[in-house]
Structure 1
């Protein structure tokens, strides 16, 4: 069985982003394969843990991927300050006599954005609305490559490694079966207070959630971290602001300083996105529908939602990202597809001087107390979990369809749902031994 077939059989999807099915990403050929080991979101430590403890698996899998895609270059991109991780990777490269190269980056946000990473490594710009493959590159998170290494051994994607940190007594790397209730994972780190709010993902692009959601949300293939927030944090307050109120604030408070545009990671790459112009038009329109046909507003479609504009740039506390996200939902509901009609302006010559230092970003977010936290403790909570609720959609594309029935016994790794070879999606497997207790439109429940 070819590597690509093993990847599909295991149900591998991108672990660091939207969960794009990996077997589709690695179809065809590419000049560059870039392993994203940057982990640019402040506080997350999973990728660093994987590099320190599974370097040989990463290098071996990357070699196979390079041969599969006939790549001329296989590069691991990581931060120069990750000295222990780089040492582990270099030792693995030497032991395996690999030609894989390590590309060292400064510590800035969002260095892990795949379009930015392509430029940093290759010097090529992914065009607005485009994907790395159009520039001859395929980018995969190091966590994804680790799962690929497991798939090449015939193991299905059933468990997830992720960071639990923040306002907790014991920051940890947790290994949990897919479908595990998040509260079970958070309790292992012993939060300092009850009724906490938390983030799933990183502090910049993750989602702020209430304590009640810890009992309803579960671990998925794209879970990268859980950050328990301190009391009434800046991020918690910002998440509570409704879009209707933000629209009103945009009308009354935007001073058109253009900092949101000057620091926009996409704009600095030469893309036509200018958040301050969108904010201006929002401020002076009576109805959002009135401005949807304007090119400046359509450019919201290429916003990466990195959050720099609202968490770092805006002196008035406005949220251009929230506005862009709202506009994207409107456009998608109308079937609009972005077309770049702007002249190529090239990469902004000031880009190098406008990179956001990771440490300074953490301070701006009110998370500086946790920034230096080193995490090398891992806990596998598999045996503690008696029930999992596995969502049918943990990936880009269509939900998987069950291939099991209620009452059926399953083993960990058994196929429970599939998307079919001709559809965009990924397979799902049982993450514990047990019995299928319930199947709904959204999920499959298994109990021991």
Structure 2
């Protein structure tokens, strides 16, 4: 079997991150295959659920992927406190007679960041703005492995597992068709509040939604692994609102930054050796408009391009409640607009204090005001079929898929709706619902349920 072709045809992309097309990631060769089951952010349950319920499927996929990339070391990395999940994986490994290690990580954030994981497992740091393959490793999320196993059976990616937590009766897992409106998922989740904000993803790096119209238009995609419901007046929501204005951030930074270095000293990228010193970016933020020399601009703000947006600086490190992450995002954009190039350190080495500088997850949860939701685990998985789905044609890094169908057609689950753009990074998109194609454009397709 042509593993890469099967994965490409099925439209598999990274299920736990930015959605990098998996057939491209697995086209190279690497010595180490790492399976990321660490559940990077608090309150998310998806990876744990898959490890408990689909351990044998994961192990089978690991064998196929490791053969494809030529890996002689296979590692499943997850937090050591996940005792039930570890036992399920050990049993599956033993049953298959597979040579797969279990690497138990500490309970800290962001343990699931692939560069942090690679550094801890291999003892080497990935180059700045590089990828694990630069140091001989490939990292895949467990959800991606489940999709790969399906692809090898001829099944495209048309369903998604995701967890729902926060202001609900109890945390739940869902398996729903791609394109399902998130409001349909919420209606099945036992909401405890009527006025709420919604986080698509995790509390640290997810997308905050406060506008009811935007929430109503959001759908489940290949990369969405979690929904977190918060009361509209929650401190995370109020803080998010305050951080949307760059001019306001500039005035706050000028008046309140005390140059304590905590944003730098606790930065995961800084700790693994990258040139990432947000306290210097903050120090110079107020005089941005006065810097006209490109070299000086890079010296003042160039570190921002190495920011991974983990959010530790703004949510945990800064005692003044400032947002180095948002400031870094601003300068990433400005550096692109100015066409400036920041040099890369291709051989970073971890700094002293790497272990001591890690952020304990429970302390982070308390700082976020989410302790009331912590420790409630999703054991039940619900499935349902929505009346309609809207399937975006860009659920991945790169170019949107190109539609090949017409409005009015009858389509079945698994039918190809849009083919990956052959002129760039892209991924196939398939139908997730039997029904009528009521709308199709360059951005996506809407399907109404009907027996066909």
Q: Does 1:299 align with 2:300?
A: no
Distance in structure 2 (CA, Å) of the matches to 1:165 and 1:256:
36
Q: Deviations over 1:204-235 (max 9, x none)?
A: 00011013322111111110100001342221
Change (3 A) 1:334 1:160: farther
Equivalent residue number for residue 363 of structure 2: 360
Equivalent residue number for residue 268 of structure 1: 271
Higher mean C-alpha deviation, range 30-39 or range 432-441? 432-441
Equivalent residue number for residue 75 of structure 1: 75
Higher mean C-alpha deviation, range 164-173 or range 206-215? 206-215
Displacement after TM superposition at 1:198 (Å): 1.1
Question: Contact (CA 8 Å) 2:40, 2:109: kept in 1 or not?
Answer: yes
Distance in structure 1 (CA, Å) of the matches to 2:331 and 2:431:
38
Q: Does 1:308 align with 2:308?
A: no
Distance in structure 1 (CA, Å) of the matches to 2:371 and 2:62:
34
Select 1:371's aligned residue among 365, 369, 374: 374
Q: Deviations over 1:355-413 (max 9, x none)?
A: 1111111111000111101111111122xx11111111110000111010111111101
Question: Contact (CA 8 Å) 1:273, 1:296: kept in 2 or not?
Answer: no
Displacement after TM superposition at 1:255 (Å): 0.8
Equivalent residue number for residue 430 of structure 2: 429
Displacement after TM superposition at 1:294 (Å): 1.9
Equivalent residue number for residue 320 of structure 1: 324
Equivalent residue number for residue 88 of structure 2: 88
Equivalent residue number for residue 233 of structure 1: 234
Equivalent residue number for residue 343 of structure 2: 339
Equivalent residue number for residue 55 of structure 2: 55
Question: Contact (CA 8 Å) 2:200, 2:227: kept in 1 or not?
Answer: yes
Displacement after TM superposition at 1:334 (Å): 4.5
Aligned residues: 445
The residue matched to 2:231 in structure 1 has which SS?
coil
Change (3 A) 1:188 1:238: same
- Please give the root-mean-square deviation of Cα atoms over the aligned residues, in Å: 1.6
Equivalent residue number for residue 32 of structure 1: 32
The residue matched to 1:407 in structure 2 has which SS?
coil
Displacement after TM superposition at 1:113 (Å): 0.7
Distance in structure 2 (CA, Å) of the matches to 1:379 and 1:290:
58
Distance in structure 2 (CA, Å) of the matches to 1:345 and 1:51:
33
Q: Deviations over 1:186-213 (max 9, x none)?
A: 1211211112101000000001101332
The residue matched to 2:35 in structure 1 has which SS?
strand
Q: Deviations over 1:159-182 (max 9, x none)?
A: 110011111113211111111111
Question: Contact (CA 8 Å) 1:310, 1:321: kept in 2 or not?
Answer: yes
Change (3 A) 1:337 1:31: farther
Distance in structure 2 (CA, Å) of the matches to 1:180 and 1:411:
15
Distance in structure 2 (CA, Å) of the matches to 1:176 and 1:297:
43
Q: Does 1:284 align with 2:287?
A: yes
Alignment of 1:18-417 (within 5 A): 18-210=18-210, 211-241=212-242, 242-286=245-289, 293-340=297-344, 346-382=349-385, 385-417=386-418
Listed as ranges, the gaps of 5+ residues in structure 2 are none
Displacement after TM superposition at 1:284 (Å): 3.2
Displacement after TM superposition at 1:146 (Å): 0.9
Distance in structure 2 (CA, Å) of the matches to 1:290 and 1:189:
54
